Amino acid sequence: MPAPNPADVPYGTLDLMVLKTLQTMGRQHGYGVARRIEQMARGVLTLNQGTIYPALLRLEQQGLIKSGWGTSDNNRRAKFYEITRAGEKHLAAESKHWTRMVTLITGLLDS
Amino acid sequence: MKRLRLLATRVLGAFASRHRDDELDEELRAHLDLLAEAHQRRGLSRADAELAARRDFGGLAQTKESYREQRGLPVLDTLLQDLRYAIRMWRRAPGFSLVVVLVLALGIGATSAIFNIVEALFLRTLPVADPSRLVYLSIESPRGSDDAFSVPDYLAYRDQNHVFAAMFASGGTMPARMIVDGAGTIQVESVNAERVSGKFFSVLGVEPAIGRLLNDEDDRADRPGAVVTISYAFWRRRFGLDPQILGRTLTLNDTPMTIVGVTPPGFFGFEIGSMPDLWYPLQMVPAVAHIDPGRLRDTGWTWLRLLGRLQSGISPSHARAEIDVLFQRSIQDQAGRLEARGALTPRERRAMVERRIELHSGAAGWSRFREPLTAPLVIVMIAVGILLVIACANVANLMLARAASRQKETAVRLALGAGRRRIVRQHLTESLLLAAAGGTAGVAIARWGAQLLLVALPQTQFTFDVSVSMRLLLFTAAVSAVTVVLFGLVPALRSTRVDVASRMKSETAGTTANRSSLVLNRVLVVTQVALSLLLLVGAGLFVRTLQNLEGIDTGFDRDRVITFRIDSGGYAAERRNDLYRRVLARLTTLPGVRTASVSSFGLLSDDGWGQRITIPDYVPRRDENMRVNGQIVGPRFFETIGTPLVSGRDFTDQDAQPRDRRRGVAIVNETMAHRFFDGRDAIGLRFGTPSGDSMEIIGVARDIKYSTLRDAAPPTFYVPVFQAAVAGTTFIVRTAAASAKPAETLRRAVRDVDPAVLVHAVRPLDELVNASVARERFVAQLASVFGLLALVLASTGLYALISYSVTRRRADIAIRMALGAARSRVIRMVLGEDLGLLAAGFAVGLPAAIAASRLVETLLFGVTATDPATIVMASAVMTGVGVAAGYLPARRASREDPLIALRSE
């Protein structure tokens, strides 16, 4: 069996990661979100930073996050995203669901 | 909910994408800058840091693409892209687009205009409660359909059926003389009054605007004091919406009636094309019309239309079966009674019993205009459909030519990897846009055209609403969509059939090598020629029909004769006869009037009085039809209309005195004299009627087209007015010279005699003759217009194709001329192609025209469907215009300097 390479982001999990990041970090621009996920996932996942933009748009279209233009720490115009109340609710539900799935899979794999 | 919101944002996202693209660009640039700065902080050079940032970020283009896909709907996106592209193409060739839109607008608009009338006349549902449950009754026989019933019929069906929730009878809308109370001076006006039974309003389910509507109580024979309901429009027009109107009295033909209510706005009853001003009960008809109330019990007086509202759960076929049982019972009774009196021949009996009841949906109301207008509308609809096909073929050719000129562009796109379907879709979008523009303009043409048609239609009193309806918009949209398929699909499919490599290499359209690709264009042009020929032949036949009818010998002199009618409704026979005598006397004293007379049925009114006659010493053949046409005319009738008497004399004032029924006098026409008094001089001979009249023939008159221009004069006898029971209503005046204002003079003359009667329909006899061929004129005019339009379209199509073909063969022609070919030879060559197309068009079009004109044979007069002169004429016109269309490009080609032509290749 070959040595484990950093995997691609599993389908459907990027949205959850972005949502969680925005919840813990608060209002944040795309670069900040991408860097945070990359730091957390270092060595486990390879992330093309560009892929978070369609994800951000998707979440915004669903009303889970909202966006607006603002100024970053170093005085640069950037688009900032923050989680909405609907997003918080969605994240809570999805987290619970995810934990249940993980418990199930772990249990199955361990048995 | 969430999904809906997602869809909404994505649909919105598809628009204003340029602004959004800019925003995304800025956001991504900021991201890359931040990333690069981070790398720089870790010690990389500016250039390396930027490179590293791009690496971390991943594919920028892919990100943008997937972002865009997420943002909008890809299908909508490409559609918008196609539309933008199509609009760009429009701007590049505005002339082309304008021509296409105009041609389409014309085709679509003309079709929609006809549909507009068809819709108003046949399809629009009545503005009443639940119209789908309404049905009307008719009697069907092998001779046709009849929807008139007698009062006893109505009462029998009303009282004995178990299938209708309720039913009503209507005696139709008739003009009546009305005088409103309270006016100082007598002011007579003519109103349209509908005679209805008590359940009329409740069956239709309408609520009054004010007051109440007529009910069964109002329609009882023994009810004291008549009441009337007026229409909202009449309330507004005549009484200015006066709320005090209830309880006021108006006098209809001398019968006072109290106004009890007003119908809601927009309500007109169930008859499409008629707008009654008021409604009064059937039981009042004898009083208003001054007829014997016993007539209401007459089974022979069929004047009612019957409508019913089906009970819920009862199907129309079930209802029909039950009413038919009642109907069969009544005609058996009738036949039995007549047979007992010996007044029924076996043939008449057969004709009587082979009839049956039919029910028709009353959802769209009933109209007396439907039957006479069906044939003209069908013809016009077919002509318009053909015109639309020609227009589409024309546009298709233009599109093909343009697709050919864009072949290189298409080849480049295909080479760059564009999908074939994508390109076809692109072309179809362009067609769709053109059709949509054409359709929009078409709606305007439809509205305007329908109004124009209404004026031209051979009926004068239309009160149709031809405003743009939803159904019309849908129809226009559907027609536009059909045109896209007709003119856009084939060129679109053709456009991708390109050999990419050779197309991109060759700079110009090339020489004769790919002439084969014009096959489709040729087919389209040939189609146009063939269809145009069809319309031209049709137009020719209808124009000939009209000419024949207009040029026909009517048997009377229509110049300087004026006719008018007097409405003295309500006058008893004695008073009326006295009035007529005094009016006639007054008329002859007017300056410029030569003679004046009167007749009971107006000339060309298509009205008459069928009368069975008996002749002493004449033994009828078995089953011989002894029914002849009777006309009631005044003294000097033949002198006034300018018809010579073959022998005998005209009626005099003495003839027009009331006299013993058994000692009457009559004038017969030549046909009657020939048929029944064969070879003998008819003067002094006698004939009679089964009811005991006997008349001596005092004159034989030349045959005239009394009722209609189309039919040969039937055997006819004339009896003097006042001798017969029915009196005349149409006055005829022959003047010495055309009077400037005949109507005013005549009106004043009648008012001098009696101010309480109405004069109407003052018209020169000449105009009456013209009006009687209004339907033929309508069809002939429209057919000519369509024929002309088709000719224009087909010849421009021909011209465009030949021009294009000449352009493609420029080099060919130049080489030939350089090698010494004469100009005439070049012209011959190009014209040869033109004539070939024309010949192919004729080969298809002539048989089609001959086959199609057989379908309209019954509408023709004095000309056969395969009239050689008409066909030759139409062919000559088509050939002349077609050759001219080919000659112009031919001459241009022959005048070109071969050197210049060759150099430009």
Say if A75 is an interface residue toward chain B (CB within 8 Å).
no
The 3-state DSSP class for residue B212 equals coil
Handedness of CA B264, B270, B272, B278 (dihedral sign): negative
Residue B510 has pLDDT above 50, yes or no: no
Phi, psi angle pair for B623, to nearest 5°: 65, 15
- Among B436, B437, B429, B439, which Cα is nearest to B399's? B429
Say if A49 is an interface residue toward chain B (CB within 8 Å).
yes
Q: What pLDDT, in 10s, does the model give residues B443-455?
A: 888 888 887 777 7
Check residue B727 and give its pLDDT.
47
Q: Inspect the interface and report whether the beta carbons of B30 and A79 lie closer than 8 Å.
A: yes
Query: Closest chain B residue to A35 measured between Cα atoms?
Result: B35
Check residue B512 and give its pLDDT.
39
Residue B384 has pLDDT above 50, yes or no: yes
Among A11, A31, A76, pick the best mutation site for testing chain B contact (most B Cβ within 10 A): A31
Q: Inspect the interface and report whether the beta carbons of B70 and A49 lie closer than 8 Å.
A: no
Q: Inspect the interface and report whether the beta carbons of B35 and A79 lie closer than 8 Å.
A: no
The shortest C-alpha distance from A45 to chain B (Å) reads 13
User: Considering chain B, what is the average pLDDT of its residues?
Assistant: 84
Percent of chain B whose predicted confidence (pLDDT) is above 70: 92
Q: For residue B149, give the DSSP letter.
A: B
Residue B426 has pLDDT above 60, yes or no: yes
Residue B515 has pLDDT above 50, yes or no: no
Among A9, A36, A37, A49, pick the best mutation site for testing chain B contact (most B Cβ within 10 A): A49
Q: Inspect the interface and report whether the beta carbons of A53 and B71 lie closer than 8 Å.
A: no
| C-alpha dist (Å) from residue A91 to A15, A26, A51, A52, A84 | 10, 14, 20, 17, 10
Residue A1 has pLDDT above 80, yes or no: no
**pLDDT bucket at A2, cuts 50 / 70 / 90:** very low
Q: Inspect the interface and report whether the beta carbons of B58 and A29 lie closer than 8 Å.
A: no
Question: Mean pLDDT over residues A49-54, rounded?
Answer: 86
Token pair of B815, please?
């080489």
For chain B, how many residues are written?
905
Specify whether the CB–CB gap between B231 and B277 falls below 8 A: yes
ipTM over 0.95: no
Check residue B516 and give its pLDDT.
47
Specify whether the CB–CB gap between B810 and B905 falls below 8 A: yes
Torsion of CA B535, B540, B541, B545, to 10 degrees: 140
Number of neighbours of residue B565 by Cβ within 10 angstroms: 18
The shortest C-alpha distance from B6 to chain A (Å) reads 6
Say if A46 is an interface residue toward chain B (CB within 8 Å).
no
Interface of B with A (CB under 8 A): 2, 5-6, 9-10, 13, 23-24, 26-28, 30-31, 33-35, 37-38, 56-60, 62-63, 66-67, 69-71
Residue B624 has pLDDT above 90, yes or no: no
Check residue B611 and give its pLDDT.
78
Q: Inspect the interface and report whether the beta carbons of B66 and A76 lie closer than 8 Å.
A: no
Question: Mean pLDDT over residues B506-535, rounded?
Answer: 72
The 3-state DSSP class for residue B795 equals helix
Token pair of B157, please?
């069906």
Distance CA B564, CA B374 (A): 30
- Please report residues of A whose CB lies closer than 8 A to that of B71: 57
Q: Inspect the interface and report whether the beta carbons of B58 and A54 lie closer than 8 Å.
A: no
CB pairs under 8 A between A and B: 72
Specify whether the CB–CB gap between B538 and B376 falls below 8 A: no
Q: What pLDDT, in 10s, does the model give residues B29-87?
A: 888 888 888 888 888 888 888 888 888 888 788 888 778 777 777 677 777 888 888 88
Q: What pLDDT, in 10s, does the model give residues B118-129?
A: 888 888 888 888
